[in-house]
Amino acid sequence: MQRFLKTALFLATGIFLYTRITSGVINFYINERFITLTLLAAVGIMVVGASYWLRPSLPHDHTHDHDHDYDHNHGLTWLGLFIIALPLVLGWLVPPQPLGAGAIGNREIGIGTLSSVAAPGSNQNMGLVAGEKNIMDWLNDFQHQDLSAFVGQEAHIIGFVYRDKRFTADTFMVGRFILSCCVADAAPIGLVVQTADAANFQTDQWVDVTGHFIVGTFAGVEMPILVADTVVETEPPPQPYLYR
């Protein structure tokens, strides 16, 4: 029984990771540069599981004093099995979702400013088009140029809708999360969008925004604001995050 449980647990964990990679859902959890390592880990876990099943059984020595029955209670206990299996069961049962507006909570949001990071460039899986700037590109540029230089510049941005008490009825933030390693270090960033149709778009809804910049004030801070020419609903890209 011990051998069967260990084998099943390791194989199920390896298969779980493998299916998350092949389906692309792994992008909801980690930076894409770690996917190869995760694949190797999945294969390794399955090999370990198979080794439990294939290794020969060792004869058990029953000649010692059976007054010490606790010596037989080694290996995987039912409590240990439950603790190890619980995250796996939840992973199978809970539908995977990328981080969105609901995950921002008390995190500090980079609106209009951003610590210097490397831009990810063109990547269709992220919803990024060659030659177009993404949110992270724009926020980097805002730090290094006079804001008046952005007046009239056009932008095309894909992200999710976010609001809090700082936003007026005709504004919302179009945001993305940036990751260094995994969702544990995810940081939200965004641009303020101004449109008369702002109320038509629900928080956490993904939108495709095209517009031009003006210099305005948000929460008492002067920054470029994206005046929308068009805002349309869209699906999250396969890789919903931007990466440092």
Residue-wise pLDDT tens digits, 68-97: 444 444 556 777 777 778 888 888 788 877
How many residues can be counted in the chain? Answer: 244
pLDDT of residue 174: 94
> Global pTM?
0.69
- pLDDT band of 32, cuts 50, 70, 90: confident
Between 112 and 52, residue with greater pLDDT: 52
CB 243 within 8 A of CB 179: yes
Q: Check if the beta carbon of residue 127 is closer than 8 Å to that of residue 160.
A: no
With CA atoms as reference, report the closest residue to 158 among 99, 233, 208, 122: 208
User: Within the chain, which residue ranges are assigned CATH 2.40.50.140?
Assistant: 101-243
When comparing pLDDT for 67 and 239, which is higher? Answer: 239
**Residue spans of alpha helices (H) in 129-204:** 135-144
What pLDDT, on the 0 to 100 scale, is given for residue 127? 52
Right CATH for 101-243 from 3.30.70.100, 3.30.70.420, 2.40.50.100, 2.40.50.140: 2.40.50.140
CB 109 within 8 A of CB 140: no
Share of the chain above pLDDT 70, in %: 79
d(CA 188, CA 110): 6
